[in-house]
Chains A and B, each alone.
Chain A
Amino acid sequence: NAGVMQNPRHLVRRRGQEARLRCSPMKGHSHVYWYRQLPEEGLKFMVYLQKENIIDESGMPKERFSAEFPKEGPSILRIQQVVRGDSAAYFCASSPGTQQETQYFGPGTRLLVL
């Protein structure tokens, strides 16, 4: 059973470009969470999605960031017009969707903005 998959593992963008990060949850998991880890810090919650629905985006910056989890395909975290402060590791986690379930994390995508 494959774990949570994220791609790309490393992404380099110039300021003003767009970054698209993909997350495929574990098989059978319908809930996806995105977290951001700035250098030398812990993970901070960004957004929680179920299939075709955003449940909680309280941790997402109001501008330039968006997320989706379509009926088919991976979850996408999109960052428009990236700035250097967006450089971080972005982690995706998934859970089956029932309560009392542990979240399982992907390997992360390291975004570097030049």
Chain B
Amino acid sequence: AQTVTQSQPEMSVQEAETVTLSCTYDTSESDYYLFWYKQPPSRQMILVIRQEAYKQQNATENRFSVNFQKAAKSFSLKISDSQLGDAAMYFCAYTFSGGYQKVTFGTGTKLQVIP
């Protein structure tokens, strides 16, 4: 079974600084997708970034980028120039690319942004 582990229950960052959230996962599959979702206090799940396992290039979306280490099964999220609106729970997630896409989520990291 696939598992996703987020070992940092809480993180804090100063506004305008950079923070990295960690995620590791376990799977026997070679082709899969990894995601970071943001859940603000409204509790809406918002897709931040997506990475296809077959792509070596790390995904980037504006101030958000990932460090994908397939051999190490590591998938960290870097937030640059942190803003107050980045404060939220961040969930790392995995889905197998074959068949349908049941998503497995980590337990989340609560990010606090300090003005």
Contacts and interface: CB of A to CB of B under 8 A. Distances in A.
A1 interface: no
A91 B45 CA distance: 9
B44 A48 contact: no
A105 interface: yes
A55 interface: yes
A33 interface: yes
Contacts of B33: 100, 102
By DSSP majority rule, is chain B's interface helix, strand, loop, or mixed?
loop
Given A89-B43, A100-B33, A102-B50, A42 B100 contact: no
Interface string A2-34: 000000000000000000000000000001010
Contact of A95 (B52, B91, B101): B101
A93 B102 CA distance: 10
A44 B2 CA distance: 13
A99 B99 contact: yes
A45 B103 contact: yes
B115 interface: no
Interface of B: 33, 35, 37, 42-47, 50, 52, 91, 95, 97-108
Contact of A42 (B44, B97, B108): B108
7 contacts: A33-B102, A33-B103, A42-B107, A99-B98, A100-B52, A101-B101, A102-B35
A55 B100 CA distance: 9
A11 B42 CA distance: 16
Given A31-B100, A100-B33, A104-B47, 18 more contacts: A33-B101, A42-B108, A43-B91, A43-B103, A45-B103, A48-B100, A48-B102, A56-B100, A91-B45, A93-B45, A95-B101, A99-B98, A99-B101, A103-B95, A103-B103, A107-B42, A107-B44, A108-B44
Contacts of A33: 101-103
A45 B102 contact: yes
A42 B105 CA distance: 6
B47 A42 contact: no
Contacts of A93: 45, 103
